[in-house]
Amino acid sequence: MPTCHGPVPSHLFPGGRPPLLLAFAGSPNVGKSTLFNSVTGQDVVTAHYAGKTVDVNVGRTEIGGSVVSVIDLPGTYGLDDSSEVSLTTRRALLDLRPDATIVVLDASNLARNLALAFEVLDLGLPVVLAVNLVDVAERTGLRIDTARLAAATGARVVETVAVTGEGISDLMIAALEVAEEPRPLPTPLHRYATGFESSIAPLVATVERGENAALCLEGRPLGLQLLEGRADVIGALEEQGDSGLLRVAAEARSSLGHLSGGRPSFVLHRERHRLASQVALECISQAKVPRSIPWERLATAPLTGIPMLIAALASIFLLLFFVGEFLAGLFSSAWGRFVSPHIQNAVEAVAGDGVLGSTLLWGLDSGIEAALGIGLPYILTFYFLLAILEDSGYLNAVAFLSDNVMHRLGLHGRAVIPLVAGAGCSVPAVLSVRVLSTDRERFIAATLVSFVPCSARTAVILGAVGHYIGIGPALGVYAVTLLVATTVGVVMARMVPGTTRGLVMEMFSFRRPNIMIVARKAWGQFLEFLVVVIPLVIVGSIVLGGLYESGWLWNLTTPFDPIVVGLLGLPSVAGLTLLFGVLRKEFALQLLATLAIASMGEQAADLTAFMSSTDLFVYALVNTLAVPCISTVAVLGKVLGRQRTTLVVAITIGTALLVGAVFARAIPVAANLLG
């Protein structure tokens, strides 16, 4: 069992590296995270790996009476230096030296995934291969000879179906057995082409004769890392003063480069993929199966895929509208009947019923109610729908279908996933941009996510425009928002330095999601949302409540009148709600009704008596386009840094004011021309 390891991130393992550690590794969309979630349940910690912005998940489970820590590494196709995701995965494997690494393979695309397995084996780590999605492979007539695969790789092999739980128990038992085997660092059994092996033999021999190690690598694994020119390994040997080994490594790289006509790292990459294809060909048999509807091809072909995408998005919108509205009504009724009276009694008992008590109720009663009232009906529902799209494989098809459009915005197809997620909540959507390859892509994607109408902004659009004016104008707000976001993306693609990488991705067969796993995933994401949002909402609502109850809120109208009244043509009081909407977007509409009644009396409860149709349209538009809620701003700061977050805030506010001013003048003109 390996005992050598690098610096262990204390925030992931406060007590140091656990005695038994298993790691899940694999490319995206092979069911790796589903396997991890099935093994660990909800007892999971999500955090950045040390020095990186990429998340890893850490959990615990019990296998045969032994408590085992499990880490889910980011999904990646390789351990090269092409992205922060692959760098994080390699860094974690070298630092932590897992007692067993479970490399998850797609049974329907074995050759593509085996290259990563060979790369992990080349690090000298104990490996168990989880051949997942065997049900999908069987539907296409594919059979995997697991015994032959085990012989070719030297690793234990277990077939699994993550969504049903099939084989998971056998997989974890095999991983524990491998982890507990007392042995030195394993030497991989696989070998590459004869010419390649001959060219690197002197380097491997020199490494094996030496006594020094770098980053816990010895023998052939160390030799291959030196052949690839890994900077961290070379740096570690330089610190040890092993100039002889470094000289031999440089000569081997030069010799291999001359013989192959390419960089040694590319040659080794090619050898891994060649061997992966060869092993897969030997281990796979194909049987005839009845023809079925090629849903994957239909979903990725523009002629059929675009109508399917429109239908899917329309279905999500309608489900959010009807199901969310129904659940919101149930929650509001239940809160008012069973929760609110107890909170009010408790606050009154502690702080009285004066200004202090009323201020606290803004946060502890109405604040929490508003956050949960949007979160449970709309955001949790959206997470559930999004998990279905993810686990079915459809989001992969959407990324492929939208790649050309995304390139015009300076992104690639995978960026569509955080943009879709933004329709539920901007917080996790911004967090998800970290999977993109470059800082440029993350900056552009996070900015565009900030324009996507989340569930809270949808509540304002439907409440202010849909309810009082009609569904047509409400859809008009969405149309304008889409046009604005597209324009901003095109401008940023031309102005932000850098280039957009091409999209290289696997296309997977669609599969039937497991509802229990979908529900667990949605609930876990929702809990993460609550952890970020609830404290900010409570504090922000208490501050706002204090300003309102003390009367200071009204003093803030005058400084903003030139913009609110002069530029946007809105009532002065509406500016306050837009300002404090940064605390909670949906609260802007609630506060608007409250302040309207306070200033004009009960007749202002009907907002059409207080604001014209143009006012309501402009109000919803500015609220939608302007800076996201404070929770999103906080997350933007973590992902982009302070400077770029400030720029995103400035872009959204400036755009909102410009577009709002244009429509405040254009709508009356258009109405006069048409009327």
The reported pLDDT for the residue numbered 44 is 64
| pLDDT over 80 (residue 662) | yes
Phi first, then psi, for residue 67 (nearest 5°) are: -85, 125
The Cα 154–Cα 147 span in angstroms is: 10
Q: Tell whether the model's pLDDT for residue 448 goes beyond 80.
A: yes
Mean pLDDT of the chain: 83
Which region among 2-11, 382-391, 468-477 has the lowest average model confidence (pLDDT)? 2-11
Q: Is 102 helix (H, G, I), strand (E, B) or coil?
A: strand
Instruction: Kindly tell me if the per-residue pLDDT of 213 is higher than 80.
Output: no
What is the structure's pLDDT at 156? Answer: 94
Residue 614 has pLDDT above 80, yes or no: yes
Q: 245-249, 263-267, 657-661: which has the highest mean pLDDT?
A: 657-661
Global pTM reads: 0.71
> What are the helix (H) ranges across 20-83?
32-40
Q: What's residue 127's pLDDT?
A: 94
Banded pLDDT at 198 (limits 50, 70, 90): confident
Q: Is the pLDDT of residue 417 over 90?
A: no
DSSP string, 165-212: TBTHHHHHHHHHHHHH---SSPPP-----HHHHHHHHHHHHHHHH---
- Mean pLDDT along residues 230-251: 86
Q: What is the pLDDT of residues 554-609, one digit of tens each?
A: 787 788 889 999 999 998 888 888 887 787 777 777 777 767 766 665 565 577 77
DSSP class of residue 242? -
The pLDDT tens digits of the residues spanning 633-655 come to 988 998 898 999 999 999 999 99
Query: Which phi and psi (to 5°) does residue 584 adopt?
Result: -150, 120
The dihedral sign for the CA sequence 433, 435, 439, 444: negative
Span 248-265, average pLDDT: 83
- Mean local confidence (pLDDT), 495-508: 66
Q: What is the pLDDT of residue 1?
A: 40
Name which of 542, 570, 440 is nearest 497 in CA terms: 440
Q: What's the CA gap between 659 and 657, in Å, rounded?
A: 6
Q: What pLDDT sits at residue 553?
A: 74
Euclidean distance between CA atoms 39 and 23, whole angstroms: 12
Question: What's the DSSP call for residue 64?
Answer: T
Mean pLDDT of 211-219: 73
Name the residue with higher pLDDT: 528 or 145: 145
Position 2 scores a pLDDT of 45
8-state DSSP, 507: -
Q: How far apart are CA 209 and CA 214, in angstroms?
A: 14
Amino acid at 651: I
Q: Is the pLDDT of residue 248 over 50?
A: yes
Summarize the confidence of residues 82-103 as an average pLDDT. 88
H or E segment and range at residue 132: strand 127-132
Q: Please enumerate in sequence order all residues whose Cβ is within 8 A of that of 273, keeping only pairs 6 or more positions apart, or say none.
A: 111, 115
Whether 626 shows a pLDDT value over 70: the answer reads yes
User: How much is the pLDDT for 597?
Assistant: 66
* 480 band by pLDDT with thresholds 50, 70 and 90: very high
Residue 158 pLDDT > 60, yes or no?
yes
Q: Which of 663, 586, 655 has its CA nearest to residue 627?
A: 655
Per-position DSSP letters for 267-283, written without gaps between them: HHHHHHHHHHHHHHHHH
